Amino acid sequence: MRRPVAVRVVGPTQWIVYPALITAAVTFILATPVKLFGFSLPEPVIPMVLAFAWPLIRPSVIAPLVLATLGLFLDIFWGGQMGMWPLSLLAIYAVVLGSRSFLIGQDTVVLFVWYAACCGLAFLIAYLIKTVSAGNAPSILALIGQVVPTLLLFPFADRMIERFEDGDVRFR
């Protein structure tokens, strides 16, 4: 006789809603005009962590909607072109979702390379949209000042993937 196996069911609240709310709160906190040692706080695009991790955890219909909402939040909050960050975040989600079968179970170094490439794609899309809409190219130094802190957020994406990837064995 088979013994029942305990299944840990992880609902969308744990891996979509709470991280999205935390992302919005941290974005708001990092935008405060505080100077530390003469430098302003960094303003990374924190939802890129979610755009990379969510399709690896579990494909969902809710995740792209939440990403589009977070992107619109960034557009309104930072005063950017409407639709620029939703397009960039959904592009990351689509690339990772398309390569999901390859990325599942890969080493952390491979995931970081893909994360860096996806961030590069998202920032390229944002850079091109900003260049076309403004009529001139934005500062490369300002772009690097946003890319580097965003790349440094990879450990959060890796931790999220490790925590929730095997959260519900019904989807294996």
Please enumerate in sequence order all residues whose Cβ is within 8 A of that of 79, keeping only pairs 6 or more positions apart, or say none: none
Mean pLDDT of 1-19: 72
Question: Which domains are present in the chain?
Answer: 12-166 (1.10.1760)
How far CA 135 is from CA of 22, 132, 138, in Å, comes to 35, 5, 9
For 68-108, what is each residue's pLDDT tens digit? 999 999 999 998 889 999 999 999 999 999 999 999 889 99
Phi, psi of 42 (to 5 degrees): -70, 155
Does the structure show a pLDDT above 80 at 170? no
Q: Which is nearest to 57 in space by CA: 170, 163, 156? A: 163
Please enumerate in sequence order all residues whose Cβ is within 8 A of that of 127, keeping only pairs 6 or more positions apart, or say none: 137, 138, 143
For 39-48, what is each residue's pLDDT tens digit? 888 889 999 9
Average pLDDT, the chain: 89
- Contact between 43 and 37 under an 8 Å Cβ cutoff? The reply is no
Q: How confident is the model at residue 24 (pLDDT cuts 50, 70, 90)?
A: very high
